[in-house]
A and B are shown apart, each in its own frame.
Chain A
Amino acid sequence: MEVMKYMKKKLILFSSLVVLSGCAAGSSQPSSNEDVKDQSWDSIKEKAEGETVSLYMWGGDDGINQYIDDWVKPQLLDAYGVRLERIPLDTNEILQKLETEKRAGQDDGTIDMIWMNGENFKRAKESDLLFGPFVEQLPNYNAYYDADSLDFKYDFGTETEGYEAPWGKVQFVFHYDSAKISEPPATLEELQQWTEDNPGKFTYPAAGDFTGDAFLRHVLYGTTSAETLFTEPFSMELADKESAGVWSYLKDIEPNLWRKGDTYPSSLTELDRLYSQGEVWMTMGYNEARGEVLVKDGVFPESTKSFVLEEPGSIGNTHFLSIPYNSPNKEAALTAIDLLLSPEAQLAKLEPDYWGENTPIDVSKLEEEDRQAFEAVDRGDTVLDQESLMDAFVPEIDAEYVPWLQEKWIDEVASQ
Chain B
Amino acid sequence: MKKSLFYSLSAIFFLLPGVLLMLKSVTPVWKWGEAFSFTFTLRGWETFLMDDRIFHALFLSILIALAATFINLAIGMISGKALSHQNFKGKSLIETLLLLPLFLPVMAAALGLHITMIRLGLANTWFGVVLVHLVPTVPYTIKVMKAGYDRLGGGMLEQAQMLGAKPLYIFRTVELPLLMPSIRSAVFLTVTISMSQYVLTAVIGGGSVITLPIIYYPFLQSVDDTVMAAFSTAFALLPIIAVGAVEIVSKLIRANGLVLNRGVK
Q: Which residues of A contact B (CB under 8 A)?
A: 2-3, 6, 17-18, 20-22, 24-26, 54, 56, 58-62, 65-66, 69, 87-90, 93-94, 96-97, 100-101, 103-104, 106, 110-111, 267-269, 272-273, 276-279, 294, 297-299
- Asked if A276 and B207 sit within 8 Å, CB to CB, the answer is no
Specify which chain A residues have a CB less than 8 angstroms from the CB of B86 in the assembled complex. Answer: none
- Asked if B210 and A87 sit within 8 Å, CB to CB, the answer is yes
Q: Mark B17-39, 1 if CB is under 8 A from A, else 0.
A: 00000000000110111000000
- Asked if B207 and A60 sit within 8 Å, CB to CB, the answer is no
Specify which chain A residues have a CB less than 8 angstroms from the CB of B221 in the assembled complex. Answer: 60, 267-269
Closest to A97 in B: B206
Count of CB-CB pairs between chains A and B under 8 Å: 125
Q: How far is it, in angstroms, between the C-alpha of A279 and the C-alpha of B107 when the chains are bound? A: 37
Nearest Cβ on chain A to B213's Cβ, whole angstroms: 10
Specify which chain B residues have a CB less than 8 angstroms from the CB of A111 in the assembled complex. Answer: 206-207
- Asked if B172 and A3 sit within 8 Å, CB to CB, the answer is yes
- Asked if B118 and A297 sit within 8 Å, CB to CB, the answer is no
- Asked if A24 and B125 sit within 8 Å, CB to CB, the answer is yes
Nearest Cβ on chain A to B73's Cβ, whole angstroms: 11
Q: How far is it, in angstroms, between the C-alpha of A54 and the C-alpha of B110 when the chains are bound? A: 23
Q: B202 interface residue, CB < 8 Å from A?
A: yes
Chain B 113-147 interface residues, beta-carbon cutoff 8 Å to A: 114-115, 118-119, 121-128, 130
Q: How many chain-B residues does the 8 Å CB contact rule pick out?
A: 53
Q: How far is it, in angstroms, between the C-alpha of A272 and the C-alpha of B51 when the chains are bound? A: 25
Closest to A56 in B: B207
- Asked if B257 and A2 sit within 8 Å, CB to CB, the answer is yes
Specify which chain B residues have a CB less than 8 angstroms from the CB of A56 in the assembled complex. Answer: 207
Specify which chain A residues have a CB less than 8 angstroms from the CB of B52 in the assembled complex. Answer: 69
Chain B 47-73 interface residues, beta-carbon cutoff 8 Å to A: 47, 50-52, 67
Nearest Cβ on chain A to B52's Cβ, whole angstroms: 8
Specify which chain B residues have a CB less than 8 angstroms from the CB of A58 in the assembled complex. Answer: 218
Q: Mark B218-239, 1 if CB is under 8 A from A, else 0.
A: 1111111111000000000000
Task: Among A26, A90, A100, A267, find the residue whose CB has the most chain B CB atoms closer than 10 A.
Answer: A100
Chain B 196-210 interface residues, beta-carbon cutoff 8 Å to A: 199, 202-203, 206-208, 210
Specify which chain A residues have a CB less than 8 angstroms from the CB of B208 in the assembled complex. Answer: 24, 26, 110
- Asked if A20 and B51 sit within 8 Å, CB to CB, the answer is no
Task: Among B52, B119, B214, B224, find the residue whose CB has the most chain A CB atoms closer than 10 A.
Answer: B224
